[in-house]
Chain A
């Protein structure tokens, strides 16, 4: 019997062409990036076990997980609040290795883990017009005084659940936002973002999660 090949298809594969779209004048005002090759684990504390979850997270990431809407950028992963007693661990993953394996032991007594690595797509929106672009899809106030780096929200875009947080600013000082969306909704969301940013000029790209800081 011939061997079988398993090719990982990113959620937005075939949905966009990398490069410039929308208004052509000047430098692009907004950059859209699909961050591929995700490992995503939802950690859900057992009843009454949040202190144990914190301890387990500290042992793994040298940081307490967020207990309120926030994103935390640890050495090897990004931790994002996803509900009371819950958070997400974002890291790099190829889909073959079991994403739960690195964490299963640490959280064994404290939390349930759910593999969401293939359930979500991660879209990064950055650039000087990132806020203007997001204002067309999101009801959140993303003003720097209200939504600083590390702020996060479980919100909805176009009737779709979206996790949104602010990552550290880009080198040029422009804001960077990450949007985590259910995989099946990702093409629609991407198209809406690209259309919303068109008047500012859009630079579309795909990047590996592991390559990003």
Chain B
């Protein structure tokens, strides 16, 4: 039990003591072996852990450098704050989580076993306070009888309101992982695609063999390796392949692959998910091994790899043994001990005891001896396996099980062993290397609802039905021995090449012997009799989430019998290691408790990602101003030069208003722009409206079917307003359509619906009525189209348009549309349509001349005070005119609701006609667009405010609608609104209550004709 400090002063003292005691051996790599390893001793690296300076070598992981420096205690556990050391040497690590780097690049929950050491690396232990050695939270361990599984659910139930405000924040502070930096990530991230005949996941003996066979045959191969070094277990074990050492053979294979132009080798790349059509997700850690990413390079790159075939050679993960005290620093996976000795030349300890139920554990004893260490004992419930009878001569071998551990905060001193005769002996040692057998890494092969199947021979799950195109080879398939890995990888690679249509020779497979891998399942050591009870130590199943064997049994007793329920109730397997070391042990213990066989209990469902993926990598470059593509209308640069304020309208950046220097707020600018149009002339870029060329002999008939009103009867040279419905009878979109020639209509849509309408029309053309002769082309970006509006519009245009063109009311009447010539030799289209209610034209020139059009309109209208206006003024004028727009065409209004009921032709069929006749859509009390003006002109209306009968009691039952569009009308000198109100059209003149609890609005207003301005429409026809 760690110290429990009682006062801030005591805490300070404890911290100071810890800092003042730099352990000398830490700085000197006292546990680095004198020779060997795949580290580069010519490249020493310096780093700090919890502020202490340490050193390592290029080729180290943070974990191996810490071990070489003699650091045993690296972390505190999630719930009980128990001291923990390094358990594994790979991405399955549950214990050694650290905060990496500082400042904005701070990265919590980094697995020290996968962090590639770099010079200047800064790491901190996490989930401890005030320090790793003196952790107040360790009191949770003392109180552990209280902290049983489901403790939070059971305890903090009352009062319900306290959960969110009180309990949850407190629990989150105490139990947890590292902290985020709290500031934006300064690095950038990329996404990329890759394509291949064969994707090989993993570069151990099976993966390298697969890549070699397929590569030699001429296939396009991508080889992904999670580690920064290729070779997998060949880097960790003393193997012999083709008469060479395993590591040498691996290097030869890598050199051969690197020489093939059709092979792409991707180290530091984790394949995390399999998706439809042979697509795999992978993260390439481009700059994680550097203090900061190289200039112009991303920190990480998210790959989508499209593979015709995939060979999953991702190996196997060693299983811990579940016995009392199995989480103490110094207890380590047997395979990891070999990795640290052989690959990193780092000794986790000098006196090593091995506790194993399988042959592979015995190889760790051999490795310890080869590295100059000492075997304290080999403990195996099976006794000495036949294959090791010679090697084990002279070793202390105990046929039995470990039933307890003893040690200090950061080191093991001895283990308690119960032998076969029932005696308990104490075995002094620094390290306990444990092996419970190997679990094939079935993550990738079990996506797409593949269920792994049980294989008694290795006491583990092996892949069942795999995703289409994926085959598994080697240890990942449950064939754990080297010879089998080489052979299977080779065959899978050669087969994939043939299936991809390649006929080159795959060469010959590498040869190696098959080492013994026998195993006898041991799911849990139950301390026998008094010895176990005395020890009273917890036997951990999930190290990261502090789930014990007793927790699993308790959950089962409480009724959580399904593995899926067990997982969620105990959180077993739900930590950042995703239960890679704990899941199988957990469900085996559950199976025993239920009296079932393991395959009957089954596994949880596998879903991507099989390792944690940073959100930043998934976002890629799509963040901040690059969250989505931006569209710029043709006048953008001109408007920017004029100082326009822009607003995002979908993807578009539109000029919202054009402030003048003296104007104090947006409303002043907008009012000026509106009055300038109403009293003179102004123009606005409306190029963002969707434009579609509809061509062909049947264009008119086609439009008759998509619009509620008729277009085949429209004369050439004329424009008409149209409304189209969705198939379900609700309004889809509206806009004006002009007939430019017998077989040429020019359809406009709203800005928001430009894309969907184009899609809809293409669907109609291609799928519904392929018999019609109709052609469609999007012309939205082709034209710079500006609305020119106001009393003086004709005067302005007469300056700009070729004098031969007749713009008089007779020569160019309301709703006329035709091509015209402009001065300066420009061709243009002119449409006499009005959104503002004023005399107005829309003028269109090819988009490249959009900037010039703005300049020329300014020049042509200079004498009339021409004023550019933005979307706010545009919106104000359309509300004054009562035109429905996006807020009213909101997806649940009908043509009738919007006042277009009479436009619905009874002489023809059109999309949505039948469904618009549904009872609900014909209900007399449906909402209708209506105008709203406050009784007191000083009251400010706000969008979204509710409309209720004058003296109604507040409540959802009396709610009759809401304000959809609101503006200040400079013409009327007051706030006005459009609203959707039940039976609104029949209620003009009625006083209602406007209730807006969010913004403290509660006053009376009058419902009125939505056309506030020039209801006769005389101005636009003038």
Contacts and interface: CB of A to CB of B under 8 A. Distances in A.
Contacts of A13: 637
Contact of B823 (A4, A143, A195): A4
A4 B860 contact: yes
A46 B849 contact: no
B773 A6 contact: no
Interface in B598-634: 621-622, 626, 628-634
Contacts of A95: 846, 848-849
B195 A143 contact: yes
B629 A158 contact: yes
Contacts of A111: 775
Interface string A4-28: 1111111101100000001100000
Per DSSP, chain B at the interface is: mixed
A119 B847 contact: yes
B220 interface: yes
A105 interface: no
A114 B780 CA distance: 12
Contacts of B192: 135-136
Interface string A108-128: 000110111111100000000
A184 B652 contact: yes
Given A96-B826, A138-B193, A184-B652, A119 B629 contact: no
Contacts of B743: 112
Nearest to A86: B775
Contacts of B695: 44, 112, 114
B852 A143 contact: no
Nearest to A197: B296
Interface residues of A, number: 58
A196 B782 contact: no
A153 to B, nearest CB: 13
Given A1-B823, A184-B631, A184-B633, A115 B848 contact: no
Nearest to B744: A112
Contacts of A59: none
Nearest to A4: B824
Per DSSP, chain A at the interface is: loop
Contacts of B744: 112
A182 B622 CA distance: 20
Nearest to B279: A139
Contact of A47 (B772, B799, B822, B823): B772
Interface string B148-191: 00000000000000000000000000000000000000001011
Contacts of B776: 44
Contacts of A182: 631, 778, 780-781
Given A7-B851, A47-B772, A183-B847, A119 B826 contact: no
Contact of A6 (B220, B304, B782, B826): B826
Nearest to B633: A184
A99 B778 CA distance: 17
Contacts of B621: 192, 195
A172 interface: no
Contacts of B697: 46-47
Interface string A174-188: 000000001111011
Interface string B815-852: 00000001111110000000000000000011111111
A98 interface: yes
A112 B779 contact: no
Contact of A141 (B195, B634, B849): B195
A84 B779 CA distance: 19
B781 A6 contact: no
Contacts of A204: none
Nearest to A139: B193
A9 B637 contact: yes
B225 interface: no
A189 to B, nearest CB: 7
Contacts of A23: 295-296
A198 interface: yes
A127 to B, nearest CB: 15
Interface of B: 188, 190-195, 220, 294-297, 304, 306, 621-622, 626, 628-634, 637, 651-652, 693, 695-697, 743-744, 771-784, 799-800, 822-827, 845-852, 855-856, 859-860
Interface of A: 1-11, 13-14, 22-23, 42, 44-48, 86, 95-96, 98, 111-112, 114-120, 135-136, 138-141, 143, 146, 158-160, 182-185, 187-189, 191-192, 195-196, 198-199
Given A9-B851, A14-B637, 4 more contacts: A13-B637, A44-B775, A146-B195, A187-B630
Q: Which 3 A-B pairs have the closest CB atoms?
A: A112-B695, A119-B782, A44-B775
11 contacts: A1-B823, A3-B823, A4-B800, A4-B822, A4-B852, A7-B851, A47-B771, A47-B773, A96-B825, A118-B781, A146-B195
